[in-house]
Amino acid sequence: MTEDKRPTEEEMKLKIMQYLWGGVDYKEFIQWLKDRGLIRSEEL
């Protein structure tokens, strides 16, 4: 069984808020999404 790396809704909200407030830059935000399997690099 593979570990589910997807963030909880709460983690997602927190990260999006950090991004919107400028605490996280675009590349870091995208990398965070990729790491959790939410997007694939070819979608960008």
Contact 29, 15 (CB under 8 A): yes
- Cα separation, 19 vs 11, in Å, equals 12
CA atoms within 13 A on the CB side of 17: 6
Give the CA radius of gyration of the chain.
Answer: 11
Q: Is 17 a residue whose pLDDT tops 90?
A: yes
Would 4 be classed as within a structural domain?
A: no
- Cα separation, 44 vs 21, in Å, equals 22
Would 26 be classed as within a structural domain?
A: yes
Would 23 be classed as within a structural domain?
A: yes
pTM of the model: 0.63
Would 15 be classed as within a structural domain?
A: yes
Q: Is 1 a residue whose pLDDT tops 60?
A: no
Number of domains in the chain: 1
Which residue segment(s) compose the domain that 14 sits in?
9-43
Q: Is 13 a residue whose pLDDT tops 90?
A: yes
Would 13 be classed as within a structural domain?
A: yes
